Structure 1
Amino acid sequence: MLPLVYHPIYSQLELPANHRYPISKYRRLYQHLTEDLDLLQRSDIEIHQPVPVQADELKGLHHPDYIDALLNNTLPAAKMRRIGFPWSQQLLDRTLTSTAGTRMTVELACRYGISIHLSGGYHHAHHDFGSGFCLVNDLAFAARHALTLPGIDKVMIIDCDVHHGDGTATLLADDDHIITFSVHCEKNFPARKPDSDIDLALPRDTNTTDYLNAFSGVLHLALAQHQPDLVLYDAGVDIHQHDELGYFNVSLAGIYQRDHLVLHTCREQMIPVAAVIGGGYRHDHQTLIAPHSQLLHAAMDIYLGHRVPSLEPTFTQEKPHDGRA
């Protein structure tokens, strides 16, 4: 079974003209999966719809005053500008629902071994402020929730969004039960990059082969060293060579190979994976659907035996280095 988590509210947010955030991509991705690929006709794929979290649930992770200010529209204008969205009730509703979606994805992954959220990855939200289109850190919230589930004593967040997971790193810096692993462009947003437990910072213009070889070695070492009971995987596609905020030179096939590598490695080691689609930025929102779809293609190959032959992994993996991750 391959459970997917989605809610129509993800794209129901009115933004100013020419806003950089590709709000329609969630609806477009869902339509592609259900209409073009006709996935709902498959008995081994299910769509789950989350119910919004309660605001008070977030106060164990974020500062209560920050959450109250978000709810009451009393954040200073400068802090809303740092987030990058104008305040609206729509914004709050989709944030609470998407956060619930990542939590649900974790629960489904523990049940089925894999689950994919067609949203999520808001890793720039810190304890008492939001940033970079992120109000609430769904990754940290869901990872903390995972530790309350039977058999989950250690979680690893593998964040492959091109931007460093700074909010996740600071929120979870003192939590020995959650390992933060960020693979990102060394010279990109945010300017200040606090230490994750594991950081793989790659130079601008990193190509597909160099990206996969570097990531593969650290991935295998990190899993062997920490032996997590659950992986929370941010499959951001802003590593793509045509992304407008990415600065990497990774191909579409390279995105598939990365996703296949993570899912295949975790399945081999019997580690459940809760995946979110993460970031991807283009003015033409429709062009993001192919990159984001690669996660689904990889999952269908590995977990359902439905292959996409033209995009199977072909890179040559280097042997992991002997140092610590």
Structure 2
Amino acid sequence: MLKYELIPGQLLYEGLITNENLYSPGLVSEDVILLTHQRDYWERLRDLTLSPPEIRRSGFPLSQELIDRERQIAQGTIEGCHYAMQYGIAFNVAGGTHHAGSNWAEGFCLLNDQAIAANYLLNRELAHSVLIIDLDVHQGNGTAEIFRCNPNVFTFSIHAEKNFPFRKEQSDLDIGLHAGTHDEEYLDILTKHLEPLFEKAKPDFVFYLSGVDVLSTDKLGHLALSREGCKMRDQLVLSLCKSRKVPVQVSMGGGYSPQIIDIVEAHCNTYRIADHIFI
């Protein structure tokens, strides 16, 4: 997608980042993938032998290039975790592939990058209690399914209720919003739940999925946040991570506004807010 090139380009143009702040990940290893995804699913995905219905559900024609891209995204999120532990926060300009379950691809998501990274941290005892804050407009059904029975990971999703995926999984806390939910109502709901979430989960690492498909301009989202409301959403989440001294990895998630400037500016605002809070 074009936004993956435009976001870092804009941040470089503004001087908010330099080339030293950018990294290019390799491919996540199979042993790490298998901490999250079932072996049979991964091997059929790897070998390009998913069934036609599975391929249709993924939303993509299956190719080696696509598999490598998904592995690179997941590795980018893992490497971002290490940077977050060092600097407080790190970003994956892509990622947010939260519809991929333990044994399925769905909604343009083949490997679940934040779930893979969370299991990587837990497996290596780099974290013991993980909180996943998913504020993409679509429910993170794959993430919810993967961690359904894992007491070390708390999954939290605020999403448009009557939107994709139409068969939802159960997160530890789901809040489904009605169509047209605007800034004030959205931010009130988020504010009400964030502090208690941190108290309950007591995370030592946070994953934040900061999709901008919550914007009123988004053609797929059905919510009605302004660009400023989306920015305030990010400020609430990142400020709490900073005040609680919990490292946070951010994956950018969805954004489908017809005008690319709406997508890029909303995503860049997440970086601008992080720069203000963490620098």
User: Same fold, TM exceeding 0.5?
Assistant: yes
Aligned to 1:18: none
The alignment status of 1:169 with 2:144, answered yes or no, reads yes
Specify the alignment match of 1:97 in structure 2.
72
Q: Check conservation: 2:112, 2:142, Cα contact below 8 A.
A: yes
Structure 1 match to 2:30: 55
Aligned-partner SS, 2:132: strand
Match of 1:38 among 3, 8, 15: 15
TM score, norm. by length of structure 2: 0.96
| Structure 1: runs of 5 or more not aligned | 1-22, 305-325
Note closer, same or farther for the CA distance 1:89–1:283 as it changes in structure 2 (3 Å cut): farther
Closer, same or farther in 2 for the Cα pair 1:206/1:151, shift >3 Å?
same
Q: Does 1:234 align with 2:209?
A: yes
* Match in the other structure for 1:29: 7
Q: More deviation in 52-61 or 123-132? A: 52-61
Q: TM-score, normalised to structure 1's length?
A: 0.82
Instruction: Give the number of equivalent residue pairs.
Output: 279
Quick one: which amino acid aligns to residue 112 of structure 2? N
Partner of residue 271 from structure 2, selected from 275, 296, 308: 296
What is the distance in 2 between the residues matched to 1:285 and 1:99?
25
- Give 1:40 shift: 4.2
RMSD: 1.5
Q: Which amino acid aligns with 1:167?
A: G
Per the alignment, residue 117 of structure 1 pairs with 92
Q: How far off is 1:149 after superposition?
A: 4.9
Match of 1:140 among 115, 120, 136: 115
Q: Are the structure 2 counterparts of residues 121 and 41 from structure 1 closer, same or farther at C-alpha, using a change threshold of 3 Å?
A: closer
Instruction: Find the counterpart in structure 2 of residue 221 from structure 1.
Output: 196
1:199 matched to 2:199? The reply is no
| Other-structure match for 1:7 | none
Mapped to 2, the partners of 1:152 and 1:199 lie a distance apart of 23
Aligned residue in 2 for 1:76: 51
Alignment of 1:141-290 (within 5 A): 141-149=116-124, 152-290=127-265
Question: How far apart are residue 55 of structure 1 and its match?
Answer: 3.0
Deviation sequence 1:184-225 (CA, Å, 0-9, x none): 111111111121011121111000010000011111111112
In 1, the alpha carbon distance for the partners of 2:262 and 2:140 equals 24
Q: Give the letter aligned to residue 39 of structure 1.
A: L
The CA deviation at 1:38 is: 3.0
Separation in structure 2 between the aligned mates of residue 262 and residue 171 of structure 1, nearest angstrom: 23
- Bigger Rg, which one: 1
Q: Is the 8 A contact 2:135 2:157 kept in 1?
A: yes
Per-residue deviation, 1:282: 3.1
**8 Å CA contact 2:26, 2:75 repeated in 1:** yes
Secondary structure at the counterpart of residue 39 of structure 1 = coil
Structure 2: where are the runs of 5+ without partners? none
Q: State the Cα deviation string for residues 259-286 of structure 1 (Å, max 9, x = none).
A: 0111111111111111111111134444
Change in CA separation of 1:112 and 1:285 when aligned onto 2, cut-off 3 Å: same
